Amino acid sequence: MAGKVKWVTDIEKSVLINNFEKRGWVQVTENEDWNFYWMSVQTIRNVFSVETGYRLSDDQIVNHFPNHYELTRKDLMVKNIKRYRKELEKEGSPLAEKDENGKYLYLDFVPVTYMLPADYNLFVEEFRKSPSSTWIMKPCGKAQGKGIFLINKLSQIKKWSRDSKTSSFVSQSNKEAYVISLYINNPLLIGGRKFDLRLYVLVSTYRPLRCYMYKLGFCRFCTVKYTPSTSELDNMFVHLTNVAIQKHGDDYNHIHGGKWMVSNLRLYLESTRGKEVTSKLFDEIHWIIVQSLKAVAVNASPSLTSSTANDRILKYNLINDTLNIVVPNGEIPDCKWNKSPPKEVLGNYEILYDEELAQGDGADRELRSRQGQSQGPRAGRSRDSGRTVLTTWK
């Protein structure tokens, strides 16, 4: 057993177990000494709760940062990004620059959002400024489209309770917290349908921040063409891309699952919008990811359920490439190991951001010194002694 990585998981998914077994790693139980534990979200919460006080030893790795929910919970994500923006403002960071209307130039990637019931009165005040607007309500702690609905009238959220004496919003004890956001009613459509992006980002360390983008992400499409018509507000096949919702639609395709690879999306956008616009779009997507990670020390909780054969292959390879980065050469983990893995082992990952390299290259200082130039998610090229230097936020 010496020298072999000992693994545990409480998620019975073949894409995980096959990857562990092909490396010759040894399966043990959670009560034995282990090196790698792929935990469910609930297990992470239990293991790293205040009550247990559990701390990882130097030769142990888990698949989540213990406080991953600071970004993956909708309400906490909004709270942390708002706090991050305020901190940058206090520091005088150019990233927090605003236009003449008080709108962030580079950090305006979260729609107007409130917490309910806590921010109900603030929400009502904002709603009345544009009474014809549409808002989307999401329960803070749920996934797969559960509990989501759209509203365009205040009366539509009175299914909750309201204190008639004070006109203040009151949550019943059995009602959980929601976030309510201004709905984006003019989304980019392909074939008349809404879609979203499922992108995989691996964060191997947070201090320094080092993250990788998986190149084989995919788009998820709605099965029914989009319309902003108020008559379709209740039709989730129009508005929500979650497979858990769409698979019940009459037009759902069980072979391809209503998905496109991100590479196909890029080709489509390049052919319809041009390469320059498409490159700018993806650079800004990467910008949003890095800034969100900087707002909190986090990880994400991607679904490992495969709805199609291509899904299964993608997720097997995703796990394979992930393990090659976080457990290099199949060696026993060591918390002191903090090197960037060589490019040849990244597989379908590419480095998204490396804080050490960024500081070494002076990228952060460059961002501050680029007076009169566009700052934030923009890349340009400059000549330095005949050498082409990439001047970007990375």
Strands (E) across the chain are located at 6-9, 26-27, 36-38, 61-62, 113-116, 135-139, 149-151, 161-163, 168-170, 178-182, 195-198, 201-206, 209-214, 218-221, 259-261, 349-354, 380-384, 387-391
Q: Provide the CA 147 distance to its chain's centre, in angstroms.
A: 20
Proportion of the chain in helix, strand, coil states, percent, rounded to 5: 35, 20, 45
pLDDT, one tens digit per residue, over 13-22 is: 999 999 999 9
pLDDT, one tens digit per residue, over 210-229 is: 999 999 999 999 999 999 88
* pLDDT band (50, 70, 90) for residue 366: very low
Listed ranges 5-14, 239-248, 305-314, 330-339; the one with the highest mean pLDDT:
5-14
Tell whether the model's pLDDT for residue 112 goes beyond 70: yes
Work out the average pLDDT over 263-277. 97
In contact, 358 and 375? CB cutoff 8 Å: no
Tell whether the model's pLDDT for residue 177 goes beyond 60: yes
Taking the C-alpha atoms of residue 320 and residue 298, their distance in angstroms, rounded to an integer, is 21
pTM of the entire structure?
0.77
Q: What residue spans define the domains of the chain? A: 1-64, 185-299+347-365
Q: What local confidence, expressed as pLDDT, does residue 152 receive?
A: 92
